[in-house]
Amino acid sequence: MTGHVLVAPDKFKGSLTAPRVAAAVARGLREAVPGLDVRCLPVADGGDGTVDAAVAAGFTRVGRWVTGPVGKPVAASFALRGRTAVVEVAAASGLAGLHPLAPLTATSRGTGELVRGALDMGCTRIVLGVGGSACTDGGRGMVEALAGKDFGDIDVVLASDVDNPLLGPNGAAAVYGPQKGATPADVQVLEERLRAWADEVGHEHADTPGAGAAGGIGFAALALLGARRRPGIEVVLDLVGFTDALPGARLVITGEGSLDAQTRHGKAPAGVAAASGGVPVVAVAGRCSVDPAEIGLRSAYALLDVEPDVTRCLADAERLLVGLAGRIAADWLEE
């Protein structure tokens, strides 16, 4: 059988990391077609999981203890290769595991400490993946942690599909504050703080698309670190070498936890499909509520179609993925 199969999924949020999804799919393919050339290339959309994808592609994981969103030390890490570092906001300043939420006091300081650690190791390019942040501090904590650092020769890439401005009804506080536990009164307080921060820094980038990302970390990165924004999935595909892995592929398999109306807006499966250059792309997912063709997919295979009980589906996701991969092999890889 000629040609390889490229397995490039995102995580199944709350269930499996992208590397585990890829491994389960690869196992199912190899069981169905012994000797099949399967190449795993886990991806992410620039949010949580971006460091995992970079490490799976050959980056080194560098661990650090940093200031967590409520001021307590947390273990976090960034990915390093050469002079490029991949930093996730979610790793140091994220919502995961934070209980109770702290919408008015959560800080981005830990993200700045990760960036500082990368700079201290000689990095000249910082990829900042935003998503899953617990804070709405406008990136002030991050900036304070970076005091004294010169970014004149540092290339900072803001990997984000969020195009919200910093302020106003579509801004960081109004749109994302409630997801971080903010009441309507809290949102007003956060908005006033962000406006005061913009007054201090300057409003030049307050309306720049992406300024509202990660509670305003996007604003601080754009205004004070000289960052440039790129779609998250495009950044990740470049980091992991997707284009280099594509030649000779006969099929690409991508996926994420839920294929839905949001998938076409910067999510990994849509980005993989768009970058696949005519190679057929199919997806695995926990659930699918959208026409796969709308995302550029030839077909989609959902775990809930095999096991409708959500609890059992989550608990047994890896075994179910192995089975779905066997179905994909039968549908797409028979000579």
- φ, ψ at 241 (rounded to 5°): 75, 40
DSSP 24-88: HHHHHHHHHSTT--EEE-----SSTTHHHHHHHTTPEEEEEEEE-TTSSEEEEEEEEETTEEEEE
Residues pairing with 87 in the sheet:
128
- Dihedral-angle region of residue 213 (phi above 0 means left; psi in -120 to 50 means alpha; beta otherwise): beta
Q: What is the CA radius of gyration of the chain?
A: 20
Q: Is the peptide bond between 247 and the residue preceding it cis, with omega within 30 degrees of 0?
A: no
Residues pairing with 7 in the sheet:
40, 253
What interhelical angle do 217-224 and 184-201 show, nearest 10? 0
The closest alpha carbon to 325, from 49, 40, 1, 54, belongs to 40
pLDDT of residue 334: 81
pLDDT of residue 265: 86
Instruction: Convert the pLDDT of each residue in 284-300 to its tens digit.
Output: 999 999 999 999 999 99
Burial level of 114, CB count in 10 A (0-12/13-18/19+)?
A: buried
Cα(292)–Cα(308) distance, integer angstroms: 20
Cα(140)–Cα(118) distance, integer angstroms: 19
Burial level of 120, CB count in 10 A (0-12/13-18/19+)?
A: exposed
Instruction: Convert the pLDDT of each residue in 115-172 to its tens digit.
Output: 999 999 999 999 999 988 999 999 999 999 999 999 999 999 999 988 999 999 999 9
Tokens describing residue 105:
């006091």
Q: C-alpha distances in angstroms, 44 versus 99, 224, 266, 320?
A: 25, 26, 10, 21
Contact 302, 310 (CB under 8 A): no
Structural element, H or E, at residue 6 = strand 4-7
pLDDT of residue 240: 97
Tokens describing residue 52:
């995992």
In this structure, is the dihedral angle defined by the CA atoms of residues 228, 230, 234 and 235, taken in order, positive or negative? positive
Q: By three-state DSSP, how is residue 178 classified?
A: helix
- Average of per-residue pLDDT across 102-118: 98
| pLDDT over threshold 80, residue 335 | no
Q: By three-state DSSP, how is residue 197 classified?
A: helix
Q: How many CB atoms lie within 10 A of CB 100?
A: 7
Structural element, H or E, at residue 259 = strand 249-259
- The pLDDT confidence band at residue 1, using thresholds 50, 70 and 90, is low
- Average of per-residue pLDDT across 82-98: 94
- Average of per-residue pLDDT across 309-328: 96
Q: Give the residue carrying structure tokens 């994808």.
A: 53
DSSP 8-state secondary structure symbol assigned to residue 16 = B
- Average of per-residue pLDDT across 311-322: 95
Tokens describing residue 186:
């809290």
Contact 292, 268 (CB under 8 A): no
Contact 268, 275 (CB under 8 A): no
| pLDDT over threshold 70, residue 280 | yes
- φ, ψ at 251 (rounded to 5°): -155, 140
